[in-house]
Amino acid sequence: MANNDHVAQLIKGVAAWNAWRDKKPDMRPDLRGANLIGADLKEADLTGALIAGAALTNADLRGANLLATDLREALLGHVRLNNADLRRADLSYADLGGTNFSGANLSHAYLGGANRLREVGRLGGRANLSNADLSEANLTRAELGGANFGGANLQAAVLVDTNLTDADLTSCRIYGVSAWRLKLEGAKQQNLVITSEDEPEITVDNIEVAQFVYLLLHNEKIRDVIDTITSKTVLILGRFTDERKAALDALRDELRKRDYLPILFDFERPRSRDTDETITLLARMARFVIADISDAKAVLQELRAIVPDLPSVPVQSIILATQEEPGMFDFYRNRPSFLTVHRYATQQQLLADLGDKVIRPAELKVRELRG
């Protein structure tokens, strides 16, 4: 528990506290478990203080010196820590909901297990988190734009919908990180360590592809990954005008409901591949392909890159009932992977027929071609 004399000294105000600290530079103030809710501690010298378990909710610690301070399990909800010095501070299991760290220096700080980091009011700005330990921290939807994470430990951290715009992630350790839909515009990603501490160090320069690269390196797991992808993925081709895209989106949504992983090729192709190469790569991962050839001359070109070269991937073409099949389909009809074209009058009919007229023939062909 807290030393009552130390708490009484702090209550006298920051000026008196700092003067007292100047006279006792080697002492570690003991404020453990103290009730400091709403306290005005701007620019207080709390270097090395023991504040574990203290209640500091809504306190003002702007510009405070918290170097090497023990803040384990402290209640820091909505505390203002703008421009505070938190180097080497221990914030493990602290409650940080709504805390403002803008401009704070958290270099070498430990935040492992900290609670409600996802609700941090601002951890970005000029916040310095270089070499901080954020292992297993939950940073879901946290605003970390502009923060310096250089050399930080992000092992097993959760980064979902996290804003890392303009952040510096150089040399972060990201083994086991969960990274989904990050905002990375302007972020510096270099020498990201994807291996655990007991493995030879391997680095990548993109946090979102780190897990895939790790799997490639540990190729005993690749077979499971490929089997999972190829057993569920369906590649959807078509024309992406507003009218046609609506039907393709509905087709994708319906396939998801049936436990498939539909890929709708309406995104920008990779810089290192032309369109045909990209389509072929995706088709190689697919269980089968659905090609809507309604008003879609480009799809015919894409099929030319798939059907002859991928005999084990069934292709189920669909077309509006009011349109004619292209003459070049005569070239494909004798190919075992090319199924009879399904005609549909409306989007509603397409979805109603999807199971029996599109998916079932494709699945039967998969079993036939792959034994």
Q: What is the DSSP string of 274-332?
A: -HHHHHHHHHHH-SEEEEE-TT-HHHHHHHHTTTTT-TTS-EEEEEETTSPPPGGGGGT
pLDDT category of residue 115 using cuts at 50, 70 and 90: low
Question: Under the phi-then-psi rule, with left for phi > 0, alpha for psi from -120 to 50, and beta for the rest, what region is 192?
Answer: beta
C-beta of residue 51 within 8 angstroms of C-beta of residue 34: yes
Does residue 297 have a pLDDT over 80? no
Residue found by looking up tokens 């010298």 in the block: 45
* Extended strands (E) in 214-274: 233-237, 261-264
Higher pLDDT, 195 or 101: 195
> CA nearest 310: which of 270, 251, 370?
370
Q: What is the pLDDT of residue 239?
A: 80
By percentage, how much of the chain surpasses pLDDT 70? 91
Contact at 8 Å (CB) between 46 and 68? Answer: no
Query: Which of 97, 193, 182, 110 is closest to 144 using CA atoms?
Result: 182
Q: What is the pLDDT of residues 190-199, one digit of tens each?
A: 999 998 888 8
Mean pLDDT of the chain: 86
Average confidence (pLDDT) over 74-97: 89
CATH 3.60.15.10 for domain 224-370: no
Helix (H, G, I), strand (E, B) or coil at 110: strand
Q: What confidence tens digit (pLDDT) does each residue in 304-360 have?
A: 889 888 999 999 999 999 998 888 788 888 889 999 999 999 999 999 999 999 999
Verdict on whether the full-model pTM lies above 0.85: no
CA distance 10 to 28: 13
Quick: pLDDT tens for 121-159.
555 556 678 888 888 777 877 778 888 899 999 998 888
Q: Are 18 and 44 in contact (CB under 8 A)?
A: yes
Structure tokens at 289: 């392909």
Mean pLDDT across 167-190 = 93
C-alpha to C-alpha distances, 336 to 3, 40, 53, 317, 333, nearest whole angstrom: 83, 78, 70, 14, 8
Residue 8, token pair as written in the block? 């009484």
Whether pLDDT at 112 is above 90? no
42-46, 102-106, 146-150, 356-360: the lowest-pLDDT one: 102-106
Encoding tokens for residue 43?
Answer: 């620019």
Closest of 363, 353, 365 to residue 251, by C-alpha: 353
pLDDT of residue 126: 60
295 confidence band (pLDDT: 50, 70, 90): confident
Tell me the sheet residues that pair with 97. none
Contacts of 86 (CB under 8 A, 6+ apart): 66, 67, 69, 101, 104, 105, 106, 109
What's the CA gap between 282 and 295, in Å, rounded? 22
Which residue in 301, 299, 292, 298 sits closest to 320, CA to CA?
292
Q: How much is the average pLDDT of 60-76?
A: 95
Q: Which tops the pLDDT comparison, 211 or 287?
A: 287
The pLDDT tens digits of the residues spanning 15-39 come to: 999 999 999 888 999 999 999 999 9
| Spans of all domains in the chain | 224-370
Largest CA distance in the chain: 94
pLDDT band at 266 (very low <50, low <70, confident <90, very high): low
pLDDT of residue 99: 83
Q: What is the C-alpha separation between 205 and 221, in angstroms, rounded? A: 22
Q: Which 8-state DSSP code applies to residue 107?
A: T
